Amino acid sequence: MVRNMTGREFILKTPLGVEDILALRVGDRVFLSGELYVARDATHRRMLSEVAQGKELPFPIHGAVLYYAGPTPPPPHEPVGSIGPTTSRRMDPYLAFFLERGLRATIGKGERGEEVKQLLEKYKAVYFIACGGAGAYLSTFVVSQEVLAYEDLGAQALFRLLVKDFPLMVAYDAFGGDLFEEGKIRYRRILLYHRENSNRGE
């Protein structure tokens, strides 16, 4: 862990252990290296369908990190194209299935359902957010990319990325912490403060 004047920073490597997860709190910044598995809603449905048919998951899930994204085709001599996060809430119905099997973290953008926070507490996992609208920038942290399965799904195939110091922030931790809710509370306090001081000046 590294501390600076603006908060806490962690340098982590996949696969993640429970001890990694329990050290994190909402608002912490994380620079993640190792393997990420890229999957969206069609990919999730395909994986669940295959497991129901008795097949194995196409990636090692214990300690893994799922990134909700749809990479664009790579330009010449680059490992990947734009790789920005997609809205995470669409994957909420599938989350319990993966957490039960050892998934430790997901990456996406936006708020998620209340049940997600409960699942993260139960299974000791976290939800990271990546910078939305910065897919080209995020691609600079990708060392390599390969299609693992479901190539017929195009951008929704299952990809494996090797990343170096991929920049993230903890949005939901394993203790019920919610960065979005904390932000709303902070905004309401600031608004109330300004209103009270404005009234005193009248």
The residues annotated as belonging to the active site are 44
Q: Is 191 exposed, middle or buried (0-12, 13-18, 19+ CB in 10 A)?
A: exposed
What tokens appear for 193 in the block?
Answer: 């403060």
What tokens appear for 148 in the block?
Answer: 């693992």
Which H, E and C letters describe 53-92, residue by residue?
CCCCCCCCCCCCEEECECCCCCCCCCCCCCCCECECHHHH
Q: Is the peptide bond before 60 cis (omega within 30 degrees of 0)?
A: no
Torsion of CA 129, 51, 163, 119, to 10 degrees: 30
What tokens appear for 28 in the block?
Answer: 């912490």
d(CA 37, CA 120): 19
CB 107 within 8 A of CB 85: yes
